[in-house]
Copies of this chain bind each other. A is one copy, B any other.
């Protein structure tokens, strides 16, 4: 299953060259992960951190910036899980403008106890939730 969310690119996310300042794509990726937790799993980032004492810090990131985006354009972000590990997950996030892939990232997020912070095993409930978004052959 694929999670999808739309993002309108803002004036303040663009630089003097008139296009998205590249770290802002990662800010939008973080919003996509927030949306995934809140909308797909019913747990927003505030509760995840404050109540469940869990966070998902970035461990490894690989990203391709394929075509520039200007403010006023809407990007369709998608998220799939590539692997559910013991204490981390690998996800792929893409940003499309119509038929054009603008940005693609592979990210390894650690399942962390925020009081550490330190990596902790993903429990059965979350493992089941993450597994639901594992990429399927036709996606």
Residues 17-55 of A contacting B (Cβ, < 8 Å)? 17-19, 21-24, 26-27, 30-31, 34, 38, 44-47, 49, 55
Nearest chain B CB to A74 CB, angstrom units: 11
Taking a contact as CB atoms closer than 8 A, the residue among B34, B65, B73 that contacts A10 in the complex is B34
The segment out of A56-64, A92-100, A122-130 that lies at the interface is A56-64
Q: How many copies does the complex hold?
A: 4
Q: Verify if A117 is at the interface (C-beta below 8 Å from B).
A: yes
Hey, what's the 0/1 contact readout for A61-72 against B, CB within 8 Å counting as 1? 111110010111
Given known A-B contacts A11-B15, A24-B23, A34-B10, A72 and B46 have beta carbons under 8 A apart: yes
* Cβ-defined contact, A65 with B59, below 8 A: yes
Q: Which bucket holds chain A's interface residue count?
A: 35 or more
Residues on B with beta carbons closer than 8 Å to the beta carbon of A44: 72
How would you classify the secondary structure of chain A's contact residues: helix, strand, loop or mixed?
mixed
Taking a contact as CB atoms closer than 8 A, the residue among B15, B38, B60, B62 that contacts A15 in the complex is B15
Return 25 A-B CB contacts under 8 Å, by A number. Answer: A10-B30, A11-B15, A11-B30, A12-B15, A12-B21, A12-B27, A14-B15, A16-B16, A19-B57, A19-B117, A22-B26, A22-B30, A23-B24, A23-B27, A44-B72, A45-B72, A46-B72, A57-B65, A58-B65, A59-B65, A60-B62, A60-B65, A61-B61, A62-B63, A68-B117
